[in-house]
């Protein structure tokens, strides 16, 4: 027997006996004390249950605790999101499509329809606020990443063509969205919502392009270094910046209620943006030169960056233009060194995209009730919304791209890419739903529109590639080289 084992047995044995001795002596201190108030109240049914039943009931009670339920919800959501993302990836679709569908599957549209008791227990109403807070945190981190990934140099290099295409791809679908809202307002707008709010929000919802999803599609198809890919990414970046500015102004107008109050909100927003560009950004650049070298980043500096993120989000939330705008701008204000940005994105992505963002998809799915579309007329309206969305975004971008000198094939490809909505559309729709502008029925129709327009991007690009090769097999144009 080794000396280590002898020491272990002696040490634990001696102090174990001493602990037992103190407990025995301590029992004598209970004399004359009323301990009835210290006893645990055990339900009568539990006292008569068998030990196995009592143990099972204890496990059930522990699982129903708020923390246990939240951990179970997160685990189920993550596993379901990864599974659906993997399956849709096998069909050449972005993983985000599968993750969005996973959220809908976990909501009342499928799980709540097939197993209402399971759905009601897993996502019981009193647990949803906590889930929502975590999903909002995931959104803030995601928008921060979008700001970090925004390459302002792209906007400079191809500014003229990008502005024409992106703004045409905003104005035309915006017009169609307002026109569509005119026909839908009487039947589908929630009570107490003005046509201005409903119309403007439908317009901006039709105008969004999902920059991150589009960028990943371009990367997966090997278009990143091509003229077509560079132009499409630039157009999407310009589209996102413009659309988010418009959305901020619209939210400010809706939240303020009057034009004059909205002007004060916009004025505060302009002051805030000016402070970020003229004060925060130069300061972060100087700090980055000293503390932000990849591999030797000072943790205090990282803490300062996250403080900027959350304070920026707080500022825009207080101003009245939603915390997501502050998170996006905070990302854009980060030090411009590509190596540092990539390092920071890599640290945030795993937590944001893998853990927290699926909670947002699930929470969106809980608000999406496909069962509300319970007759043919409602499905026709949903089809009309999808048609207007495709015509507006695809058609407007295609015409503008052709006007700037792109080939028909490249113009069609740009139109298909700009028609991608994905996660960004869900963010906008959730803002509208939370503000009470979109009814559950319209919200569901718009979520389906976001799914279908994103789903059709990859097949549309493949079809355009096939038709362009078949029509012009001998010509050496950009699509046939890079698709």
- Measured CA angle at 436 (ends 383, 428), to 5 deg: 60
The dihedral built from the CA positions of residue 257, 258, 263 and 268, taken in this order, carries a sign that is: negative
pTM of the model: 0.77
Whole-number Å distance between alpha carbons of 453 and 208: 11
The end-to-end CA distance of the chain, in Å, is: 72
Q: Return the ∠ at Cα 265 (arms to 261 and 267), rounded to 5°.
A: 115
Token pair of 28, please?
């004598």
How many Cα atoms are found within 13 Å in the side-chain-facing hemisphere of 113?
A: 12
Which among 436, 467, 454, 33 is positioned nearest to 257, based on CA atoms?
A: 436
Of 467, 457, 440, the residue nearest 389 (C-alpha): 457
Residue environment code for 363-399, b if the CB has 16+ CB neighbours within 10 A, otherwise e: bbbbbbbbebbeeeebeebbeebbebbbebbbbbbbe
Give the pair of three-digit tokens for residue 93: 């679709």
Q: Which domains are delineated in the chain? A: 101-482 (1.20.1530.20)
Q: What is the pLDDT along the chain (483 residues), one digit of tens a residue?
A: 678 888 888 889 999 999 999 988 888 887 767 666 554 444 544 456 677 777 778 787 787 788 888 999 999 999 999 999 899 888 878 788 888 899 899 988 888 888 999 888 889 888 888 988 998 898 889 889 888 877 666 556 556 677 788 888 889 999 999 999 999 999 999 988 889 889 999 999 998 887 777 777 776 677 766 777 778 877 877 787 788 778 887 887 777 666 677 778 778 888 998 999 999 999 988 888 877 676 667 788 888 899 999 999 999 888 877 788 888 889 888 888 888 888 888 888 888 888 888 888 888 888 888 989 988 999 999 999 999 999 999 999 999 888 888 888 888 988 998 898 877 888 889 889 988 899 999 999 999 999 999 899 889 888 888 887 766 544 444 443 434
| Residues 128 and 69 sit within 8 Å (Cβ to Cβ) | no
Q: How far apart are CA 468 and CA 481, in angstroms?
A: 11
- C-alpha–C-alpha distance, residues 50 and 42, integer Å: 14
């Amino acid at each position: 027997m080794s000396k280590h084992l002898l020491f272990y047995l002696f040490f634990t044995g001696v102090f174990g006996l001493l602990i037992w001795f103190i407990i025995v002596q301590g029992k004598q201190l209970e004399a004359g004390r009323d301990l009835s108030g210290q006893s645990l109240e055990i339900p009568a049914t539990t006292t008569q249950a068998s030990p196995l039943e009592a143990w099972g009931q204890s496990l059930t009670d522990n699982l129903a605790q708020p923390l246990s339920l939240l951990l179970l919800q997160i685990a189920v959501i993550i596993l379901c999101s990864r599974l659906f993302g993997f399956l849709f990836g096998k069909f050449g679709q972005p993983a985000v499509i599968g993750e969005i569908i996973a959220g809908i599957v976990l909501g009342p549209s499928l799980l709540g329809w097939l197993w209402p008791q399971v759905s009601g227990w897993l996502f019981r109403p009193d647990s949803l606020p906590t889930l929502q807070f975590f999903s909002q945190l995931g959104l803030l981190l995601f928008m921060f990443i979008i700001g970090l990934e925004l390459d302002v140099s792209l906007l400079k290099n191809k500014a003229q063509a990008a502005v024409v295409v992106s703004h045409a791809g905003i104005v035309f679908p915006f017009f169609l969205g307002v026109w569509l809202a005119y026909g839908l307002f009487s039947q589908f707008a929630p009570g107490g919502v003005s046509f201005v709010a409903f119309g403007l929000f439908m317009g901006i919802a039709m105008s969004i392009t999902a920059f991150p999803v589009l960028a990943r599609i371009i990367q997966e198809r090997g278009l990143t270094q091509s003229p077509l890919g560079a132009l499409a990414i630039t157009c999407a970046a310009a589209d996102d910046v413009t659309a988010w500015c418009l959305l901020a102004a619209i939210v400010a107008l809706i939240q303020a209620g009057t034009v004059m109050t909205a002007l004060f909100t916009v004025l505060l927003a302009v002051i805030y943006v000016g402070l970020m560009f003229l004060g925060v950004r130069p300061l972060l650049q100087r700090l980055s030169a000293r503390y932000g070298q990849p591999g030797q980043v000072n943790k205090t500096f990282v803490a300062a960056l996250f403080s900027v993120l959350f304070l920026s989000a707080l500022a825009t939330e207080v101003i009245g233009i939603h915390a997501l705008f502050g998170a996006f701008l905070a990302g854009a204000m980060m030090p411009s060194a590509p190596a540092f940005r990539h390092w920071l994105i890599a640290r945030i992505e795993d937590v944001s995209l893998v853990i927290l963002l699926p909670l947002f998809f699930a929470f969106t799915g809980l608000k999406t009730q496909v069962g509300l579309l319970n007759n043919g007329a409602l499905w026709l309206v949903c089809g009309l919304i999808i048609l207007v969305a495709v015509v507006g975004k695809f058609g407007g971008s295609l015409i503008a791209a052709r006007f700037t000198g792109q080939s028909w094939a490249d113009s069609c490809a740009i139109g298909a890419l700009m028609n991608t909505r994905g996660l960004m559309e869900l963010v906008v729709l959730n803002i509208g739903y939370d503000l009470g502008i979109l009814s559950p029925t319209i919200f569901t129709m718009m979520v389906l529109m976001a799914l279908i327009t994103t789903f059709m991007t990859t097949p549309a690009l493949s079809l355009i590639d096939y038709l362009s090769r078949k029509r012009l097999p001998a010509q050496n144009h950009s699509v046939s080289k890079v698709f």
